[in-house]
Homo-oligomer: A and B are copies of this chain.
Amino acid sequence: MDYVYGPGRNHLFVPGPVNIPEPVIRAMNRNNEDYRSPAVPALTKTLLEDVKKIFKTTSGTPFLIPTTGTGAWESALTNTLSPGDRIVTFLIGQFSLLWIDQQQRLKFDVDVVESEWGQGANLNILSSKLSSDRAHTIKAICIVHNETATGVTNNLATVRKLLDQFNHPALLLVDGVSSICAIDFRMDEWGIDVALTGSQKALSLPTGMGIVCASPKALEASKTAKSVRVFFDWNDYLKFYKIGTYWPYTPSIQLLYGLRAALDLIFEEGLDNVIARHNRLGKATRLAVEAWGLKNCTQKEEWFSDTVTAVVVPPYIDSAEIVRRAWKRYNLSLGLGLNKVAGKVFRIGHLGNLNELQLLGCLSGVEMILKDVGYPVKLGSGVAAAAAYFQNTIPLIPSRI
C-alpha cells in the first residue's frame, strides 16, 4: 500500500504538506489516550502557552482546531463577523481566491481588490478605501500574508500603518498559512486580530490542525458576531479553557504530542534562526531561477516569498509536464501552477523542515527536468548559484559546535 514508493527518499518540495522531522514522527507514533485524563489537559496547557510564540503574541488567544486551513479561515470569519458585514479583501492568486469564495458564501459583503497574479495586494486601493470610509462600514480587512500559488508575500506592517493612519477600527484578519514559522510574522506588533496557519505547513506536522490566534479585540467581536457556527465556535473552546479541560470535542492525541515536539524543535533552533533559514532557502532558490534564465512569477523583489517560488516557464513548455516528470522520473514532488497560471508556472516549496543540501538536490533535479522538456538550461548552473550563496551565509549547526 505504498503507491509512491521508489528507491530512496521522496523529495517533497510542494508548498505543503511538508517534510516532518523524524523526532516529530516519533512523537506521534503512539496509541490513543483518554483526552479527559489529567495528562492531556496538562499537555494542552503547555501547547496553548507556547504556540503563541510562533505568532509573536502575548495577548492573543490560540485555538488548536481539528481542521485544515480552510476550516481555520472559516473559524476566523464566522467568529468575528456577521452576515452582511463589509470586508475588504485582496485577490492575488488561487488561495486568496478560495478564501474570497468562502467569504462570499458566508454571506459577507465582500469588496475585492484584485491584482495581477504575481503582484502583491494593492495597498493603494486599500488606502483610498479606508480614507473614504469615514462611516467605518468596513468591518474587516482579509489578507493572505503569503499567497502560496504565486509566491507573493504581502507587507502586513503597511496594512497596519494604513489602518492606524486612518484610525480605522476594522479587524485585520490574516491568513498566515504559508508564512507563520517561516516568514517574519508579528501579530502583536502589527495589530493583527486573527492570524491562522495549518499544521502541515512550516510547522512541519501532518495535516489536521488549524491553528488560529485571536486578539482581545477579535475575542470581543466574537461575542456579538452573528455568523452561524458551532464546530468552529471559539466560545465552546473558551468554556473548556475556563474549566481547564480545554477540549469541547476530541482532539487528535497524536497531533498534540506532535505539536509539542515541533515547537520544541523550533525553539531549539530558535524561531529567528528558522526564519533566517527560510530566507536563505528562498534567496538561493531565486538565484537558481535567475541562473537558469527563467522568470519568477513574483513581479517585484518586495513581494518575494521565502517559502515558495513560482517559476514561469517559456510558452512552449507545459509546466504541468515538469511536475509530472519530476514525480515519475526523479521522485521529486513539485507544485503545479493553479488556475490562471496553470501550465505557466511550477512551484518549488521551500518551507518547513528542510536544509540546504536537500534544496540543492531539488534544484539539480529541476535542472534535469528542464532539459528533459526541452529548455536549454546549463546543468549545475542553478545549483552553483545557490551553493555560492549558501557558502557565504550558512551557519554551523549550533548543537554540533
Q: Please tell me the number of chain A residues within 8 Å of chain B, measured between CB atoms.
A: 124
Question: Which of B17, B19, B252 sits near A8, CB closer than 8 Å?
Answer: B19
Give 30 CB contacts A-B under 8 Å.
A5-B21, A5-B399, A6-B397, A7-B265, A8-B355, A9-B9, A9-B355, A14-B36, A17-B34, A26-B29, A28-B29, A28-B254, A32-B207, A36-B335, A70-B249, A71-B231, A105-B229, A207-B250, A207-B251, A207-B252, A329-B394, A329-B396, A357-B362, A360-B364, A360-B383, A364-B383, A368-B391, A379-B391, A380-B381, A381-B384
Cβ-based interface call for A30 (8 A) = yes
Enumerate chain B residues within 8 angstroms of A336, measured Cβ to Cβ. Answer: 36
Enumerate chain B residues within 8 angstroms of A330, measured Cβ to Cβ. Answer: 355-357, 394
Enumerate chain B residues within 8 angstroms of A180, measured Cβ to Cβ. Answer: none
Enumerate chain B residues within 8 angstroms of A355, measured Cβ to Cβ. Answer: 6-9, 330-331
Question: Which of B73, B384, B400 sits near A6, CB closer than 8 Å?
Answer: B400
Closest B residue to A359 by CB, please name it.
B361
Of A69, A101, A254, A257, which is in contact with the most chain B CB atoms at under 10 Å from its CB?
A254
Q: Are A390 and B368 in contact (CB under 8 A)?
A: yes
Q: Are A33 and B17 in contact (CB under 8 A)?
A: yes
Cα A18 to Cα B330 in complex, Å, equals 20
Closest approach, in angstroms, between the C-beta of A164 and any C-beta of chain B? 31
Question: Which of B35, B43, B277, B364 sits near A364, CB closer than 8 Å?
Answer: B364
Cβ-based interface call for A92 (8 A) = no
Q: Are B39 and A17 in contact (CB under 8 A)?
A: no
Cα A328 to Cα B378 in complex, Å, equals 31
Assuming the contacts A68-B250, A360-B361, asked whether A31 and B12 have C-beta atoms less than 8 A apart, the reply is yes
Q: Are B34 and A333 in contact (CB under 8 A)?
A: yes
Closest B residue to A269 by CB, please name it.
B7
* 8 nearest A-B residue pairs (beta carbon): A380-B384, A361-B361, A8-B355, A380-B380, A17-B32, A3-B39, A360-B364, A34-B333
Cβ-based interface call for A401 (8 A) = yes
Cα A227 to Cα B79 in complex, Å, equals 17
Q: Are A358 and B361 in contact (CB under 8 A)?
A: yes
Enumerate chain B residues within 8 angstroms of A250, measured Cβ to Cβ. Answer: 16-17, 68-69, 198, 200, 207
Closest B residue to A24 by CB, please name it.
B31
Cβ-based interface call for A163 (8 A) = no
Enumerate chain B residues within 8 angstroms of A37, measured Cβ to Cβ. Answer: 4, 327, 333
| Residues in A334-372 with C-beta less than 8 Å from chain B | 335-336, 353-358, 360-362, 364-365, 367-368, 371-372
Cβ-based interface call for A93 (8 A) = no
